[in-house]
Structure 1
Amino acid sequence: MQPVTYNRKITEKFEQSDYGDAQQHFLAQRVLYREAELLDSRRYAEWLEMLSDDLLYEMPLRTNRLGRELQFEFNDPGELSHFEEDKGGIALRLRRLGTNMAWSEDPPSRTRRLVSNIVVKSASEGEVLVGSNQLVYRSRLDHQKELFSCARFDIWRIQTDPAAWQLAYRNIVFDDAIVHGSNLGIFF
């Protein structure tokens, strides 16, 4: 059986990199927990400040494949995906949430993010690779309840102050091939 290879580019970076030190791991953990707190409390302007200007934020499609076809389980960058956004696109989505035109988020979702299995690896100077798993619970109205499970592969630009870290790249990989949510109007 072949191992899971998400985005080939980021998977190769993870495999070729050494683990970060304990201090980097601690700081990455704090950054991810802070990010979850900001998103769960709908403090989107503060979260947007955590994103680098050259951010790539993507969620490739996943398909069910036979064992001999597992190398095709995920679409490559540039192919069809759930979304592939930059900071400008995310800022536009956030501005839209402030209008009366974002029907999929009116009333807004209530979310709770659980972040775990954090792995930190050294990258180039001033950057770390951070892998994590995330479980996102979302509820809307009285009856709409959804659970999303995913892995995330990030590149963070690091500073000595964890509040100044910036997300430069995020690859979000759902565990399900079919998204069972009503929409993808939330952030992962």
Structure 2
Amino acid sequence: MEFKKIAVAMAVSVGLGASSVMAATDGTIGETSNGNFDINFQKGTVARIWGLGDFNLTDANVAATPATEDICIYSNKAANSNTYQLEIASTNSFRLVGSGSDASTFVDYDIKVEGLGIGNGSLDNASVNHGTDANVTSQAGNHLDAGALASQPDPSIACTGENAQISVWLPASVASLAGGAFSDTVTLTITPQ
């Protein structure tokens, strides 16, 4: 009788970008036989920002009384601390631009995103000198933290347990601005660090 040796290697991999080195060992023939194999799991790092809303500013939203919005930020990079890079990008270089016949008129504004509750750190456009840095369209910083993984908002449901806050305010000179509609679009991008 001829025995044929059949090598079967088993590896189970689940997750994003999972990779494994096959280390399976087949058993040999005998009264008992044992073999072994590895089971590997690699979970990808993900992030989410949600709970955002549009800001409808008034003359009252100057530095002392900014308009605010509490938001949720999630990152699963680590169990105890989840630092992330935040980029604040503005379509109009941190200026609210007039529409229609007011298209050449603009209002500078300031924006800040900071940790709330379990969140830590902050980033703002304070280093942008509106008068000379008119082409600056984004600011980025690496010193923000979404908090411990177990305490962060659940990214699969509506934003509750907010861990960051956005503040937007206008210069005091807005009081003397002629009437009109002004807008900008801001994009926040978070990247786990």
Q: TM-score, normalised by structure 2?
A: 0.26
Larger radius of gyration: 2
Q: TM-score, normalised by structure 1?
A: 0.26
Considering fraction of residues, name the structure with more helix. 1
